[in-house]
């Protein structure tokens, strides 16, 4: 069993730690100061409470899971004895490269060093290290304790043993890892996600449908189907002759924009960032934020329960 350590205890770091603990793995979690780690501990407790409220944990098991996570403010301490380290610090290439240079110096050569970056190049993160073969991206999706997908991304020097150990660990955590065989901006998930977002922006721009109906077309239509069958298997099931014919006349009508839509850029210029500022495509007051968070969490817990029937969390 890998001895797991996580550097960074923000949105992703503490949630990845919780995912490991739910699977029965002890994990060391690093934060830069007391305030950050205290916030992480509160968030872990809140998430455990939600799982308990949905009948997935009782109080004794919640305490057991929580106790599998140990907290430290020292990088050498969190790295000591670890065999697999996941970095979840901010999306800044220079910061990540500096951290990996340091970890490459202080860790034994057989320790795997992974980044949770959602799009930065693993080869650039590993640049300058003496052991780039053990550096890999493990991109968890938010919230990491409920979403099973993890993208495992090779750098140009990442070796097969590193990929295998990453897959083995993630499967122990009851995750669904996929291998991104070569570096590509956005990896796989974000390329698909932003292709959908680009077309949604275009449909809204063209006045084809309202924002509410565009979102409804996904949540009550393709979103329901895609949860069972991805785009390629859906095409097979629908008939490739049909999908080929539709592609021939529809692709030329789809957006091929090279940048974010003018409306999106305008909202950003007006400091309308969505939930962060209270307004974006929608207005986000406290009650709407709570409603949408609860709705998303309820849906994800539904799938978490279904996944757990296949790979039951170790409590």
Catalytic residue numbers read 118, 139, 151, 190
Q: Look at residue 203 and give its three-state secondary structure.
A: helix
d(CA 209, CA 206): 8
DSSP per-residue letters across 138-197: EEE-SSTTT--EEEEE--TT--HHHHHHHHHHHHHTT-EEEEE-S--TTTTHHHHHHHHH
Say how many C-beta atoms besides its own lie within 10 A of residue 295's C-beta: 11
Question: Which single residue is written with the structure tokens 């939930």?
Answer: 275
Question: Which single residue is written with the structure tokens 């860790």?
Answer: 107
Say how many C-beta atoms besides its own lie within 10 A of residue 269's C-beta: 8
Q: Look at residue 69 and give its three-state secondary structure.
A: strand
Which tokens is 286 given? 């406290």
Contacts of 271 (CB under 8 A, 6+ apart): 277
Mode of pairing for the β-strands spanning 135-140 and 149-153: antiparallel
């Amino acid at each position: 069993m890998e001895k797991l350590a996580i550097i960074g205890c923000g949105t992703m770091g503490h949630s990845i730690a919780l995912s490991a603990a739910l699977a029965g793995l002890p994990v060391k979690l690093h934060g830069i100061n007391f305030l950050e780690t205290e916030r992480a501990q509160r968030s872990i407790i809140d998430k455990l409470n939600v799982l308990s409220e949905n009948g997935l944990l009782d109080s004794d098991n919640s305490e057991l899971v929580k106790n599998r996570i140990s907290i430290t403010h020292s990088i050498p301490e969190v790295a000591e004895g670890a065999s697999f380290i996941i970095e979840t610090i901010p999306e800044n290439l220079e910061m990540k490269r500096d951290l990996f240079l340091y970890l490459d110096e202080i860790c034994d050569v057989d320790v795997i060093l992974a980044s949770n970056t959602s799009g930065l190049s693993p080869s650039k993160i590993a640049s300058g290290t003496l052991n780039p073969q053990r550096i890999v991206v493990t991109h968890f999706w938010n919230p990491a304790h409920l979403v099973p997908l993890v993208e495992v991304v090779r750098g140009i020097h990442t070796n097969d043993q590193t990929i295998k150990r990453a897959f083995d660990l993630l499967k122990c955590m009851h995750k669904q890892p996929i291998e991104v065989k070569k570096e590509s901006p956005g990896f796989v998930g974000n390329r698909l996600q932003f292709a959908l977002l680009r077309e949604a922006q275009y449909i809204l721009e063209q006045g084809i449908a309202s924002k509410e109906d565009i979102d409804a077309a996904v949540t009550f239509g393709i979103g329901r189907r895609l949860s069972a069958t991805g785009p390629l298997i859906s095409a097979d099931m629908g008939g490739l002759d049909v999908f080929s014919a539709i592609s021939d006349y529809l692709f030329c009508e789809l957006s091929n924009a090279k940048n974010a839509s003018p409306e999106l850029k305008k909202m950003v210029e007006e400091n309308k960032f969505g939930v962060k500022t209270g307004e974006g495509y929608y207005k986000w007051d406290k009650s709407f934020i709570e409603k949408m968070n609860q709705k998303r969490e309820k849906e994800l817990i539904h799938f978490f329960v279904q996944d757990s029937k296949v790979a039951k969390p170790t409590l």
